[in-house]
Amino acid sequence: MHEKNLGINCRCCSSRGLVVFGLSGGKNVATTDAGSVSEKSLYSALKATPEGKQTFANLVIKKVLSKDYADKVDQKEIDKQYNKAKKQYGESFESTLSQSGMTTATYKDNLYLSALEKVAYKANQKFTEAQLKKAYKDYTPNVSISVIKTASEDDAKAVINDLNDGKNFADEAKAKSTDETTKTNGGKMAAFDSTASATTVSADVMKAAFALKKGEYTKTPVKVAGTTDATTGTATSDAYYVIKMNSRTAKKSYKQLKSKMKDILVDKKLATDTSAMTAFVGEQLNKAKVNITDKDLKSALVTYTEAANSASQAKSSSATKKTSSQSDSKKASTAKTSTSSSSGSSSSSSSSSK
């Protein structure tokens, strides 16, 4: 299982002690009859690796962002993510981390750094009231649904007929659903809201579910088109769902959810612009005037600073085009006014002549 399934992007922290090595070059970390291995030699070897450079970059980023944003990180939410992953993987949790080049400690560090970056990014984003209110209008809070997945439309229609005749939804799910994840639980899914990922809940299922009232079920089959994995070429067939609404969470007021709306817009922005966070971190590093004294680590932050420079150039170019466009519009307006004035003057002169 790759590390991204653990809820974060791996920051390659297997060498997290990197900056400690070399601070006192005389100490040995190992001795043999053939000679010793010093901290300095270990440090030199580690910092030359991509993992070592990334670990160094993480430490610098954490240091810079912590100054202004550490107090905004929700440690309870980090613990919640960690415990969720631990519960999900059970006894294979540590081995899964190991396969991803992480330990429980470095995984927690990664979760913290990801949270720190996000709160810092959010604090620097500005959204209009119109944008926030639209996000609120489009938002649907948690719902709890049950589903029965079938291989054909006819099978789904047969299930609906059974439900119309008074049969129990959970019993139908256990007997006829092809969804192995939910059928043993009577078709019940984990609660989700409108921000749920498409990998968690199909957009078609979500749309159909949100249209239901508590206790209602879909009276026509909900088709979910099959997909083809771009990497493996593995294809899945179309599926047909019958969906029942178990319960809905009441939607709180705009004022109560305003902060969450900003979170939603931030997530959407980061999802549609994969370089946005890298560029933002680069901007923060530039503002902090980071100076790397070790020549072998000079390139460790280049990905971030180059992204920041590119974003700055793009913003400057956009501003120049906007100014130029406004200038052209102003010139056109002035010319139009001048022409109109000239025409009026000419008409007045002609009238006077008569």
pLDDT tens sequence across 3-41? 445 554 555 444 333 433 334 456 999 999 999 999 999
Position 342 pLDDT exceeds 80:
no
- pLDDT band for position 197 (cuts 50, 70, 90): confident
CA-atom Rg of the chain in angstroms: 30
Position 237 pLDDT exceeds 70:
yes
Structure-model confidence comparison of residues 343 and 299, the more confident one: 299
Kindly state the tokens that stand for 93. Answer: 């949790």
**Whole-angstrom distance, CA of residue 158 vs CA of residue 177:** 12
Considering the entire predicted model, what is its pTM? 0.72
Percentage of residues of the chain with pLDDT beyond 90? 73
- Residue 99's φ and ψ, nearest 5 degrees, are -65, -25
Kindly state the tokens that stand for 71. Answer: 């107090």
**Whole-angstrom distance, CA of residue 149 vs CA of residue 135:** 31
- Residue 195's φ and ψ, nearest 5 degrees, are -90, 0
**Whole-angstrom distance, CA of residue 130 vs CA of residue 251:** 19
Half-sphere exposure of 160 (CA within 13 A, CB side): 18
CB of 282 closer than 8 Å to CB of 309: yes
**Whole-angstrom distance, CA of residue 254 vs CA of residue 137:** 9
Position 353 pLDDT exceeds 90:
no
Question: What 3-state DSSP class applies to 7?
Answer: coil
Structure-model confidence comparison of residues 217 and 314, the more confident one: 217
* H/E stretch holding 237: none
E strands, the chain, are: 28-32, 35-38, 143-150, 222-224, 239-248
CB of 46 closer than 8 Å to CB of 52: yes
229 burial level (CB within 10 Å; 0-12, 13-18, 19+) = exposed
Q: Which domains does the chain have, with CATH numbers?
A: 1-123 (no CATH), 126-139+254-341 (no CATH), 147-250 (3.10.50.40)
DSSP-derived pairing of the beta strands 239-248 and 143-150: antiparallel
- How confident is the model at residue 14, as a pLDDT? 41
**Whole-angstrom distance, CA of residue 237 vs CA of residue 257:** 39
Q: What is the mean pLDDT of residues 73-79?
A: 95
CB of 40 closer than 8 Å to CB of 25: yes
